[in-house]
Amino acid sequence: MSRGPNENYVKSRVPRGFHLDVARKIQMALASRVVEEDLININNVDLVAGIDVAYINHKDTEIGISVASTYSISRSSIIEWSCWVGSIIFPYVPTLLSFRELKPVVNAYLRLRTKPQVVLIDGHGRAHPYRLGIASHFGVCLRIPTIGVAKSLLYGRMEGTEGPVLDVSTNEVIGWTVQCAPTKPTYVSVGYGISLGSAVNLVKRMCVGSQMPIPILHSHNTANSLKRRITKRLMGETTFEELDSECKASMGNYLS
């Protein structure tokens, strides 16, 4: 397996007490547990969640706003969404995004009252230099069928506008490019518990002309709407607990 981007650059940004070699060992151990076959009958899938995270830099603190939205394929509608607000202590470090985003992603997911059959996460799964993007990290830890859906290519090379994403060193197929939007590609990769073919077919069923499929698109828009509201609230005196309580109060449940 090829090495990731400039390791010296990565080392300069990890928090105190966090060792890059330990993180790599964790990645390799978890990557070995990824299941790339269907653990569910893909034809029976109806409830699919999408999760996205927005960030606010406030003084010396970074705040994460995560949203999980559950979409019903049979009803063609979002039936529920949940959110979480809290501090983020791990910075953005290339190839270690899952260590930063796992906390907000999991917390938003756990607040869903109706658990989905498959989870889409705005990020990569196996299409990662260490085979453990946020979608795979989440899926392995929670043992939930998960798909990585990204707007940009982190690792690999494309074979045409719609087709396989190949490992640059081994030519292994690690993802697939689909054309959800007219001009921008969407990158799909296995997270956990689903085959690449099933992942691609499921994502295509929820494309609506935007780069992101419906569940992630709803979470993205909701997270950014909450971000604007929270930014205004931060102009006064408020706590994370108050912000998170307001977030929970605004959660949408459309189940009859």
214-233 and 240-250 helices cross at what angle (nearest 10)? Answer: 140
The 8-class DSSP code of residue 180 comes to S
Residues 6+ apart with CB under 8 A from 103: 64, 86, 88
Query: CA 95, CA 218: separation in Å to the nearest integer?
Result: 26
Question: Residue 187 forms beta bridges with which residues?
Answer: 150, 177
Query: Does 52 belong to an annotated binding site?
Result: yes
Alpha helices (H) in the chain, listed in sequence order: 7-11, 20-31, 97-110, 134-142, 196-205, 214-233, 240-250
Which amino acids are annotated as binding site for Mg(2+), given as ranges? 52, 122
Task: Report the binding-site residues.
Answer: 52, 122
